[in-house]
Amino acid sequence: MSAARSKPPPKKSLGQHFLVDRAYIERVVAAVDPKPGDRLVEIGPGQGAITYPLLRRHGELTVVEFDRDLITPLVEGAEGLGRLTVIHKDVLQVDFGKLAADDGHAVPRIRLVGNLPYNISSPILFHALEHADAIRDMTFMLQKEVVERMAAAPGGKVYGRLSVMLQARCEVTPLFAVPPGAFRPPPKVDSAVVRLVPRDPATVGIASPPLFAEIVREAFGQRRKTLRNALQGLCAGADIEAAGLAPDLRAERLAPADFIRLANHLAGRGAGASG
């Protein structure tokens, strides 16, 4: 079969660890569970471990691959399985909103899936957030520690900027862990699969996304600082109190909704980011 042809080796410089364990591949595909009419977009298909089963099951798939050396083998391996559309581009430069608008559906939204390169997983997540309105859901495999941060509750050591930014805009559900031995080459860390479902923007209620993002970034910039000190460049203690929060709290004690309330209060007063 063409999928068994010679494949380029993983590139350490790109953080490539290819999933090879069939049982975990099947679990990922089952988690995605594509339905007729879905517009699937896979980030970093690599050697096609998830690509081919999804294509065989769904019949149509768009993939975003940065490594040129992987594209020809990927296309050859997909012959006879369905229609594969390849976007040769850095995923951080891909406009998911345009991809969704081009799908021809009455409700243009895409479903993202991928074994994300661990060295740029957070930038990819933040990039996806910028296009959350165009995304129905995301099923990603990442470093387990990152998934734990994504889903962490307030008050814990791993709760931070990533937790707040994602949970404010999405429902975050860890699905299952994946051991290093399921990959080639094996990473030095455990992995995990997580599902993110963007919330309806109307229910999220962030008045100024840039201001919200800056408040979260500054609040967690130096975790030992209180809100009063960490946010002194953006607001005064009285502003924090007016939003119903205690200025002497540290950022990790606040839920995502608290950050939204503070950001909206400042936005309503005309306060903004300094740059």
Binding site feature residues for S-adenosyl-L-methionine: 17, 19, 44, 65, 90, 115
Nearest to 174 by CA among 204, 149, 201: 149
Q: Which of 161, 169, 171 is nearest to 139 (CA)?
A: 171
Q: Same domain, yes or no, for 153 and 244?
A: no
Residue 150 exposure: Cα atoms within 13 Å on the Cβ side? 27
Q: Are residues 188 and 224 in the same domain?
A: no
What does the alpha-carbon distance between residue 122 and residue 248 come to, in Å, rounded to a whole number? 29
Check whether residue 73 and residue 189 sit in a common domain. yes
> End of a domain among 202, 226, 254?
202
The answer to whether position 193 is within a domain reads yes
Q: Is the pLDDT of residue 17 over 80?
A: no
Q: Same structural domain for residues 214 and 128?
A: no
CATH of the domain at 9: 3.40.50.150
182-212 pLDDT, tens digit per residue, is 998 898 999 999 999 999 988 999 999 999 9
Q: Is 2 left (phi over 0), alpha (psi -120 to 50) or beta?
A: alpha
Q: Give domain status of residue 275, yes or no.
A: no
Residue 97 sits in the same domain as residue 48: yes
Type of residue at 107? V
Task: Answer yes or no: is pLDDT of 221 > 90.
Answer: yes
Which has more pLDDT, 47 or 17?
Answer: 47
Domain that holds residue 214: 209-268
**For residue 7, what pLDDT band results from cuts at 50, 70 and 90?**
low
Domain-embedded: residue 43? yes
91 and 214, same domain (yes or no): no
- pLDDT tens for residues 124-167? 999 999 999 999 999 999 999 999 999 999 999 999 999 999 99
Q: What is the pLDDT of residues 35-62, one digit of tens each?
A: 999 999 999 998 999 999 999 999 999 9
146 domain residue, yes or no: yes
> Any idea which of 53-57, 77-81, 116-120, 270-274 has the lowest mean pLDDT?
270-274
**Domain assignment present for 166:** yes
- Shared domain for 84 and 161, answered yes or no, is yes
Q: Is 273 domain-assigned? A: no
pLDDT at 260: 97
pLDDT higher than threshold 80 for residue 109: yes
Say how far residue 232 (Cα) sits from the centre of its chain.
30
What mean pLDDT do residues 17-32 have? 94
The predicted-structure confidence for 256-274, as pLDDT tens digits, reads as follows 999 999 999 999 976 444 3
One domain for residues 67 and 177:
yes
- Whether residue 8 is contained in a domain is answered as yes
Tell me: pLDDT of 217 over 60: yes
127 and 35 in a single domain? The answer is yes
Helices and strands: H and E segment counts in the chain: 12, 9
Residue 40 forms beta bridges with which residues?
111
Domain boundary among 159, 179, 202: 202
User: What mean pLDDT do residues 111-128 have?
Assistant: 93
CA distance 269 to 52: 52
Same domain flag for 121 and 7: yes
* Domain stop point among 171, 202, 233: 202
pLDDT band at 107 (very low <50, low <70, confident <90, very high): low
Overall domain count for the chain: 2
Sequence-ordered strand ranges (E) for the chain:
18-19, 40-43, 60-65, 83-88, 110-115, 135-143, 170-178, 183-184, 191-198
Q: Which residue ranges make up the annotated binding site?
A: 17, 19, 44, 65, 90, 115
**How deeply is 152 buried, as exposed, middle or buried, from its count of CB atoms within 10 A (0-12, 13-18, 19+)?**
buried
Residue 256 belongs to domain with CATH number: 1.10.8.100
Nearest Cα to Cα of residue 110 among 64, 57, 177, 168: 64
Instruction: Give the residue among 247, 235, 167 at the shortest CA–CA distance from 204.
Output: 167
Query: Residue 36 falls within a domain, yes or no?
Result: yes
Does 136 lie in the same domain as 250?
Answer: no
The verdict on 157 and 229 lying in the same domain is no
Helix axes 161-169, 144-151, angle to 10 degrees: 60
Distance between CA atoms of 77 and 8, rounded to whole angstroms? 13
